[in-house]
Amino acid sequence: MASPAAGPGEVVVRVIASGLCGTDYRIWNGDRPVRYPLVMGHEFIGRVLAIGPGVGNVRVGDKVAVQPNFSCGRCPLCLEGNWNLCLSRTAVGIDVDGGFAEQARVPARVCWPAPSELADDQLLLAEPLAVVVRAVDRGEARAGQSAAVVGVGTLGLLAVQVLRARGLSVLAVGRTERRLDVARALGAGAVATTEGGGHAAAARAFSGREGVDLVVETAGTAEAVEHAVELARPGGRVVLTGLPHEPSRLNFFSVVRRELSIVGSMIYQGEFPEAVRLLSSGAVRTERLLTHRFPLDEIQAAFAAHRAPDSIKVAVVP
Ligand SMILES: [Zn+2]
Ligand SMILES: [Zn+2]
């Protein structure tokens, strides 16, 4: 394969590994249209092979986590710091070539150097972890409060750990029993399923009051949004970070009556360094999350594994 050349402000990285997520799956199966040809893959880490003119934040040989989103830098949203909401945001691996490759060319400003003691398998979770750090911070999480996490996939299992690191007690809520044992092992104080509808009672029992202070929704289904709202106490906060692609039948009467704050949380702004720090300190562990690994030339099997019942995070290794 021809090596891409680094232009001004750009770097070329040799990809170490690339995580596969639901967004990749939706592109692969055609649900999410993109412009072809496209090299997919946005959750990747690599080693800097070459730097273009004007690059100062990374050096050749650095191990980096790539933040696969960058913005125009000029619009009102960018200028006020809300670059993640920029209407001209570029997503690496979706709008431009990404990390399911041996090498990738990206702007240097989206490369975050990682400490050398941090293992590749940990660093690989930096991108979804940055999403979760923002969601937890948008929830104004405070030590001593009670929280619930809806969904126990990669984002949910990371959210359990970030909330624990912030000093909250956490109830993990899944659709079924599957993976709730992993949530427990990663710090959830209690677990509940939405099967049979006992989750709201579980939130009351867990918090010792009318519901939990903070709910972080990570599953991204219409149903999960409804469940999230049912878990919160009156006056509580609900942060939505899963992307529900279908409309929900949420009962807004209960939102008004209980003065809930519902906030969205979209990817990240400045959360990458904090994600790297949480991984380095051991506050967030990844070994139970990284369940499958495939070489790049078996990527079809990687996509199939993404949907397997025992799969949490699948990695593709060039
Ligand atoms: Zn992703
Ligand atoms: Zn912009």
For residue 117, give the nearest of 282, 230, 280, 227 by alpha carbon: 280
Give residue 314 CA to ligand 1 midpoint distance, Å: 11
Angle at 192 between CA 188 and CA 195, to 5 degrees: 155
Give residue 73 CA to ligand 2 midpoint distance, Å: 5
Q: Is the Cβ–Cβ distance between 134 and 268 less than 8 Å?
A: yes
Q: What is the pLDDT of residue 2?
A: 63
- Quote helix, strand, coil % in the chain, to nearest 5: 30, 25, 40
Segment holding 143, helix H or strand E: none
Helical residues (DSSP H) of 166-236, grouped into ranges = 180-185, 199-207, 222-231
- Residue 3, pLDDT > 90, answer no
Residue 153: nearest ligand to its CA?
1
- Residue 273, pLDDT > 80, answer yes
- Interval 210-223: pLDDT, tens: 999 999 999 999 99
Residue 75: nearest ligand to its CA?
2
- Interval 230-251: pLDDT, tens: 999 999 999 999 999 899 999 9
Residue 70: nearest ligand to its CA?
2
Q: Is the Cβ–Cβ distance between 220 and 243 less than 8 Å?
A: yes
Q: What share of the chain has pLDDT > 90, as a percent?
A: 97
Residue 82: nearest ligand to its CA?
2
- Residue 146, pLDDT > 90, answer yes
- Interval 115-136: pLDDT, tens: 988 999 999 999 999 999 999 9
Give residue 126 CA to ligand 1 midpoint distance, Å: 11
Give residue 129 CA to ligand 1 midpoint distance, Å: 10
